[in-house]
Amino acid sequence: MEENLKINKTQLSPEITFDKKNNIFEIYGKSAVENADDFYKPVLNWFTEYFKSPNENTEINFYLEYLNSASSVQIGKLINLFEINKNKCKISLNWFYESDDEIMYDAGKELQYMYEIKFNFKAIKEDSDRFQF
């Protein structure tokens, strides 16, 4: 398996940074891709391979500004992978959202409910360095 997966952010797609060696797993930005199946296929494939030999602790960070419905389905598939593999390693799923963004907070709550995996909800200020979309 490839140790890393890096997909650069565009106007409509998020930045993906998966680095097994340094234990960094982040999805950051806006996800409004037209063909979400194609965009997220390498992401799902990478984590499928990753869970064959995962790190002892796996912390996944979602910093999403926007999520269209097609992307939400794909993020759901990714979270389902975490749910299926939760006994192989300790998984921490962090859902970051701007403190005044109820829509992204609710999107995380809905995904948590659908897949029965615990999220750590982390409100951050709009002017925070990590939310400079």
**Model-level pTM?**
0.91
Q: What is the mean pLDDT of residues 15-28?
A: 97
Kindly report the number of other CB atoms within 10 A of residue 123's CB atom: 13
Higher pLDDT, 2 or 131: 2
Query: Distance (Å, rounded) from C-alpha 51 to C-alpha 58?
Result: 10
Query: Distance (Å, rounded) from C-alpha 105 to C-alpha 78?
Result: 18
Query: Distance (Å, rounded) from C-alpha 133 to C-alpha 68?
Result: 16
pLDDT (tens digit per residue) in 84-110: 999 999 999 999 999 999 999 999 999
The domain segmentation of the chain, as residue ranges, is 4-131
Do residues 95 and 120 make contact, with C-beta atoms less than 8 angstroms apart?
A: yes
Q: How far is CA 32 from CA 61, 74, 117, 123, in A?
A: 18, 11, 24, 22
Do residues 78 and 44 make contact, with C-beta atoms less than 8 angstroms apart?
A: yes
